[in-house]
Structures are given as structure tokens and as C-alpha cells.
């Protein structure tokens, strides 16, 4: 799909069921991740506490849906390679599901 900025990634992570992306770690290796920040797709026991926010200094946090754990991207990373986006399914007026996949 192409390169996107970290701000664009954060927007996708907040508004999508899951986002597949690849970024370069600080050690130079590439990491392929499947992540989200959409609370409804994060297990309840893994969600940030009510009155606190899950923070990692200046790093960008995301929930890895494959590993079922929180991960972070170093603040020095400026862009990532977007592979695919699975959108949240919304019920239509007639009660039919709309396909939100952006593969």
C-alpha cells in the first residue's frame, strides 16, 4: 500500500480493527506487525486502566493483535510501510453488515 507517516499510522490504529505494517527497529531489523488502538479489539485485561493512559515515554504504543501484547515503535521512526487495513464493520440501516476491508 505504501509508506505513511507515524501520525497517519496512529490514526489508522485508532479507527481500525487492525493494521498490518512494517517498520525498522532501532537495531536495523524490520518488524512486521498487526496492531490496533481500538479498545473494542483489545482484551479487557490488557486495556489501559480507566484513569491512566498506557505510555512509553516518547515512543508510539500499539497493541499487537497477533502477540496479544503491547509493543512500541521508537520515537525516532518517522514512517512505516502500510501493508493492509481491516476496518471496523458497521451495521447498515437495514441491519446488514458493510464490508470495511481495505486490503
Q: What is the pLDDT of residue 33?
A: 97
φ and ψ at residue 4, rounded to 5 degrees: -135, 160
Whether the full predicted model's pTM is greater than 0.85, yes or no, is no
Count Cβ atoms within 10 A of the Cβ of residue 21 and give its class: 0-12 exposed, 13-18 middle, 19 or more buried.
buried
For the chain, the structural domain boundaries read 2-87
pLDDT in tens, 10-34: 999 999 999 999 999 999 999 999 9
Q: What is the DSSP letter of 48?
A: P
Mean pLDDT of the 33-58 span: 81
Mean pLDDT of the 80-85 span: 95
Q: Is the pLDDT of residue 101 over 70?
A: no
Q: What is the pLDDT of residue 98?
A: 43
Amino acid at each position: 500500500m505504501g509508506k505513511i507517516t507515524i501520525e497517519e499510522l496512529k490514526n489508522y490504529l485508532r479507527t481500525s480493527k487492525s493494521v498490518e505494517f512494517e517498520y525498522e527497529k532501532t537495531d536495523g531489523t524490520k518488524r512486521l506487525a498487526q496492531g490496533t488502538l481500538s479498545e473494542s479489539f483489545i482484551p479487557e485485561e490488557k486495556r489501559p486502566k480507566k484513569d491512566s493512559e498506557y505510555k512509553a515515554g516518547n515512543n508510539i504504543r500499539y497493541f499487537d493483535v497477533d502477540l496479544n501484547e503491547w509493543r512500541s515503535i521508537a520515537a525516532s521512526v518517522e514512517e512505516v510501510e502500510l501493508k493492509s487495513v481491516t476496518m471496523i464493520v458497521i451495521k447498515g440501516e437495514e441491519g446488514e453488515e458493510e464490508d470495511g476491508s481495505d486490503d
